[in-house]
Amino acid sequence: MSSQRAVVVADAAIAILAERGMRGLTHRAVDEAAGLPPGSTSNHARTRAALLELALARLTQREEAVFTAATPPDGGVPEGVGEVARLADLLARTIHAAITVHRETTIARYELALEASRRPELRKIYDEVGRRFREQAVAVLAAAGSPDPVRHGRQMVAYVEGMLFDAVVGAGGVPTLEELDAAFRELLQGMGARGGPLRLTGGRSREGPV
């Protein structure tokens, strides 16, 4: 974000998307939700397209922060439990947070995803964000010992997206951390993941999540 005011505007836009949907998103509504003088949103995003792009950029930051916050410190998972268990724990914490405390962010992303299917300029940005997350999934699974990390990475992303959608806007309930952990362990074991140092964001690596 270019400034703290831009963050305030983008966060207000995300809140409106989650609460009122795409039809409720206007520059005036963002000004009011953010508690800013009329016209403030236009100073940061003059057009509707620019406002959507600003919201998507901020949403990406927030989702990355969810992942970082879910990553346990050294010793967060007992030594000796294996890298599959460590990765399952990280995934479970991330998804549980996205479903519960960060539900607003997740709903807003679905609104933006649907709008991106109708706006090529937004689709380009959305696809680039998605590509980064898919590449990270492939890298993590490769480091965890998957015999086919590209295919398994696609499957992992599809599995996570389906789980999120079902829990947040579908008919499913909110799974517990324990249920998510068990589900990811079973998925990773089925993919043949067997361990190894996990490589996550920014190319950092160590024994377990970073």
Residue 22 lies in a domain: no
In a domain, 81, yes or no: yes
Q: Global pTM?
A: 0.82
Position 135 in a domain: yes
- Establish if 43 belongs to a structural domain: no
The enclosing domain of 140 has a CATH number of 1.10.357.10
Instruction: Return the bridge partners of 206, or none.
Output: 198
Reduced 3-state DSSP string for 101-165: CCHHHHHHHHHHHHHHCCCHHHHHHHHHHHHHHHHHHHHHHHHCCCCCHHHHHHHHHHHHHHHHH
User: For the chain, how many structural domains are there in total?
Assistant: 1
CB 152 within 8 A of CB 191: yes
- 32-91 pLDDT tens trace: 999 999 999 999 999 999 999 999 999 999 998 888 877 665 544 444 446 788 889 989
Domain span holding position 181: 60-206
Let me know if residue 37 belongs to a domain: no
